[in-house]
Structure 1
């Protein structure tokens, strides 16, 4: 039976054969924040299709000692369709990384060896937030994962592959959210 404990935002998730139980925990844990916006606030236009469309700057803290690499997934669960729209896949970020700068180049390999995957827009790197005009604000989830290994995936991998690999190597995760609504 596969059993692992994953601290998540002040709670501990105990995965036991496909089921999860949530328990209170005093673990400060992994955090991701941005100097450009506060948790749950609006994403500045600079990081959207109404602006430069570059990736937002991020700050990382509380990385567990057993972490070998970090991964980031940015998605929009409010996008039309059955699944959230994946805006960014970044993995094999060195475990000692404390800052991800704004405007990460859309190269296969960036940030000291990190790999970038193909977003749901079909391109490498960050795909700017761009909900349809007239939509209510969309929520954007920036999920940071601490992993117990470097992922054996080629640049350009898609979300399904990256997600499976993350699940197998997960130590801890945390999520930062922001919202965005396009100007009329």
Structure 2
């Protein structure tokens, strides 16, 4: 049996963490079906605190490192959230209109869509879904709605002051 792929931030430069909570998902638990692609396809509520005071903006992502692609699968990329944002409500991943701030937007995920698209693993062992809030040293990344997710990931890594993650599992 082969080892599972690493979590997406295991080999990147380490940055501090901060508090990330949710009324909808719990680290190490199973993702409820209403947040899966075949269920309600809702993005979960997320709230954060304790990030560095020099934070100038945020991004929220969801990534599946276990997708059978060799490079994982991006489910959500909510970018350019204002520095005073400390929460996304349940369902905020539905459209750009549900994000705070005039400059915020959803970049293209791997479905592809410009929104949150929940867990949709093939039959087999549970996949891990890594919901991450990135505290950034810039108010906005220099990317567009259609910038490839790998390039966005590079920019997130380069501009990260801190990050916080919740990892949940889901199987079909």
Query: Structure 2 length normalisation: TM-score?
Result: 0.83
Bigger radius of gyration, 1 or 2? 1
> 2 CA distance for matches of 1:75 and 1:94?
22
More RCO (CA 8 Å, sep 6+): 2
Counterparts of 1:156-167 in structure 2 under 5 Å? Answer: 156-167=146-157
Q: Which of 43, 46, 52 is residue 64 of structure 1 equivalent to?
A: 52
Contact 1:30–1:173, Cα closer than 8 Å, also in 2: yes
Displacement, 1:41? 0.3
Residue 47 of structure 2 is aligned to residue 32 of structure 1: no
Contact 2:76–2:93, Cα closer than 8 Å, also in 1: no
The two structures, once aligned, show a CA RMSD in angstroms of 2.3
Map of 1:128 onto structure 2: 118
Counterparts of 1:9-20 in structure 2 under 5 Å? Answer: none
Assess, with a 3 A threshold, how the Cα gap between structure 1 residues 93 and 19 changes in structure 2: closer, same or farther.
closer
> 2 CA distance for matches of 1:105 and 1:82?
26
Larger deviation, residues 63-72 vs 160-169: 160-169
Map of 1:138 onto structure 2: 127
Where does structure 1 lack aligned partners over 5 or more consecutive residues? 1-12
Larger deviation, residues 98-107 vs 72-81: 98-107
Map of 1:6 onto structure 2: none
User: Number of aligned pairs?
Assistant: 160
Where does structure 2 lack aligned partners over 5 or more consecutive residues? 1-9
Residue 106 of structure 2 is aligned to residue 116 of structure 1: yes
Query: Structure 1 length normalisation: TM-score?
Result: 0.78
Displacement, 1:108? 4.3
Q: Which of 35, 39, 45 is residue 51 of structure 1 equivalent to?
A: 39
Higher share of residues assigned helix:
2
